[in-house]
Amino acid sequence: MAEHAMYFTDDRAQRMYKIRKGVMNFFVYLFLSVFALFMLAPFAIMVVGSFINADNFEAFSRTADFENLGFAHWTIDNYSFILLNRQFSNFPVYFLNTLIVAVGGTTVTVVTAVLAAFAFARLQFKGKDALFALLLATMMIPGEMMVITNYQTVRSLYWTNTFAALILVHGVSVFYIFYLRQTFQQIPNELYLAAKVDGVGDLGYLIRVMVPIAMPTITTIIILSMMGSWNSYIWPNLVASGGWKYNPAHSMKLVSNGLRDLFAAGSQTKPIQDAYKIAGSMVISIPLLIVFILFRKYIMRGVSRSGIKG
């Protein structure tokens, strides 16, 4: 009798636990769904608005009449205006500049992050922990506070309107060094000692062993760094707003500030409609969207493998 009562109590407790867990999961997923809706709504509006006829989009923005967003008013004229209009003839140049800066800056960032993370994870030298703590402390300083110092440095080196100013100044990321160091620390130290016994140097061990193992994390760094370079606006607007130092006819603007200046110039003569601006934003975003879709699994894998380790 006592065993039956105990079984009944345990069964009731399990059912109550499942009910509480189900209710908790419901509210968690509800919160995540609402949060995702707020995050995706602007992007969805941008995608839809980029295909809406410019006149109908202007009418919708003034009256919120959703009939103006019907499929009957969809067109690709907005993209034709951005890609084929003579007013935007420099747009391919902006894309080329952005591609050069993204690839060059990402290369420098990855090289410095790999070397620094390896030094902090495996090498032994005096003051290593203090130096690493100092680097982490710099992450607490907002990047905007360093803009003036970096700008004065670029001017003193005569790097304004050059690719060096866009690539080298942001070639070191403390966050990426910390991020990669956590992955390197998860690699057994016995592999490093075995490589030393076999006569493999530090650089050889880094290239042959640590880099292949940490490739998911490095791939994540590459993708995030390229996205940051592609979306950069404030710094290029300061140091690369004119013609190339060695060829003034070649504009040094990137896609973000270049497109913004084109829209601003158009507003002084004939206002550029919002639908065209949204289409231009989509043109800028499409390469990043493609990169994310193709490499999203590497981002997730890199984040899962770089857990914090004491």
Distance of alpha carbon 245 from alpha carbon 166, whole angstroms: 13
Distance of alpha carbon 60 from alpha carbon 97, whole angstroms: 35
Domain match, 6 and 105 both? no
CB atoms within 10 A of CB 18: 10
Q: Answer with the residue of higher pLDDT: 245 or 26.
A: 26
117 is in which domain, residue-wise? Answer: 89-305
pLDDT in tens, 50-109: 887 777 766 666 655 555 555 666 778 888 877 777 777 777 888 889 889 999 999 999
Is residue 1 scored above 70 in pLDDT?
A: no
pTM of the model: 0.76
Mapped onto helix, strand or coil, the DSSP state of residue 75 is: coil
36 inside domain: yes
Domain match, 34 and 179 both? no
b/e for 107-135, b at 16 or more Cβ within 10 A?
A: ebbbeebbebbbbbbbeeeeeeeeebeeb
Last residue of a domain, one of 35, 59, 79: 79
296: confidence class by pLDDT, cuts 50, 70, 90 = confident
Is residue 182 scored above 60 in pLDDT?
A: yes
Give the relative orientation of helices 174-185 and 91-121 as an angle to the nearest 10 degrees. 50
Domain match, 261 and 281 both? yes
Last residue of a domain, one of 79, 105, 130: 79
Is residue 220 scored above 60 in pLDDT?
A: yes
Average pLDDT, the chain: 79
310 inside domain: no
CB atoms within 10 A of CB 169: 20
CATH number at residue 282: 1.10.3720.10
Domain match, 261 and 285 both? yes
75 inside domain: yes
Distance of alpha carbon 221 from alpha carbon 110, whole angstroms: 7
Domain match, 75 and 105 both? no
Domain match, 122 and 266 both? yes
Domain match, 68 and 107 both? no
Mean pLDDT of the region 190-218: 84
Mapped onto helix, strand or coil, the DSSP state of residue 302 is: helix
125 inside domain: yes
84 inside domain: no
* Domain count of the fold of the chain: 2
Last residue of a domain, one of 46, 79, 112: 79
